[in-house]
A = this chain, B = another copy of it.
Amino acid sequence: MSGDEQRGLSRRAAWAGGDNFISRLMTEALARPDLVSLAAGFVDQQTLPAEATRQALDALWADPTRTRIALQYGTTIGHRSLREAILDRMLKADSLGPGGSGPTLDQIVVTAGSNQLLHLVADTLLNPGEIVLCAAPSYFVFLDTLANVGARTVGVEVDCNGIIPEALDEELARRKTAGELAAVKAIYVTTYYDNPSGTTTTTTRRQQLIEIARRWSHENTIYIIEDAAYRELRYYGDETPSLYALDGNLDNGEQVIHAGTFSKSFSPGIRVGWGILPKRLVGPVLAQKGNVDFGSPHFNQMLMATVLQRGSFDRHVTGLRESYRRKLDATLASAEKWLRPLGIDWVPATGGLYVWLRLPDAIDTGLGGSLFRRAVSEGVLYVPGECCYPKEGYPCPKNRLRLSFGVPSVEDIVRGMESLARAIGTLG
């Protein structure tokens, strides 16, 4: 019996953990307002869509009937016109015609950000002790969510093209040998501009990933959870078809759970996300959501539907991309100037909010290591790579770290990168 259970709490409460490293980072940041935070995953304050939101609210209030509907309860699956707009965008982004192999409206579920969708899916699929194979590194909040439901997370190696098919195949073979294949319920990947690694899974890799998941789905379906939170934040290169779309072409779309959100591309304060679910999971996920909140706030859903219908979303994303592209460029140029000479390298991201650094092997980036302390005293915060690795599988390297370039100005990015280089330099 754990300490939490002794205090009368549930096992889940113990698994939820307590004081996490994000709160430690925030404490650091609050104590030192002069710090440049290259740690926080917040979005750029200056580009938040105050005017577009205002116009959508005006449009919503122009019709008293719609205003009242927005202020009332909605349905658990979500507001229909929002779901239609999401479907429409998804079909266009994946170059799918309506009525073809793409998703249908009844597969689209609105949630409080993509994070709620991920939590609902975890609750729906996983018993304590069951396994999710995760890209190593992975989005650390979802690793916590999986721990919270008692699931085991097993890391699979990635390279600059995403999760490595051979590594995934080998991990599945190991699980089979260990008699654990039936416990493997899902594979988790952030397919666009990964948090934290910055990489985008190539189309070939996506196809291989689906093929592997299908091939190993003997005893039960091994779902692929495709986290597409950053899809809209594309600064360079062409659109890549979603895993969902590729799966649809192969197998009627029953393998992939797709999670999307307007939090990064529009506003986290409005917090509207969605899932596109295999048909057989729609009912169970909605039953779970019914118990949690019987539907996300209707007001936020109708607001986002109005934003989309008015074309404000696309205009906003166009501007956002330019602003973030400049920040990405500044981050990479600063890295080239100050970090490359220190033996540090990275995969240049083409979108998203993150650059993932590999430092010389001898440097420990961890919260308990000397670099983190020195970086804080030089005036810069980062996320230690150790926070981003699943508990089992691919071993956690000590020399990685995540930079977020979304929040600080270009000037602060440059200043922060120079500070980071100074901190690393003093270790040599």
Contact = CB atoms under 8 A, between A and B. Distances in A.
Nearest to A4: B284
A72 B291 contact: no
A347 to B, nearest CB: 26
Contacts of A20: 287, 290
Contacts of A348: none
A13 B294 contact: no
Contacts of A73: 42-43, 268-269
Interface in A300-320: 300, 302
Nearest to A220: B8
Interface residues of A, number: 74
A61 B72 contact: no
A69 to B, nearest CB: 8
Interface in A1-54: 4-5, 7-13, 16-20, 42-43, 45-46, 48-50, 53-54
A285 to B, nearest CB: 8
Contacts of A8: 125, 185, 220-221
A200 interface: no
Contacts of A148: 288, 291
A153 interface: no
B292 A115 contact: yes
A124 interface: yes
A292 B119 contact: yes
A116 interface: yes
Nearest to A68: B48
Interface of A: 4-5, 7-13, 16-20, 42-43, 45-46, 48-50, 53-54, 57, 61, 64, 67-74, 112-113, 115-116, 119, 123-127, 130, 141, 144-145, 148-149, 185, 220-221, 267-271, 280, 283-284, 287-288, 290-294, 296-300, 302
Top-10 shortest CB links A-B: A8-B220, A269-B298, A271-B297, A71-B269, A16-B287, A269-B299, A48-B71, A71-B267, A148-B291, A50-B67
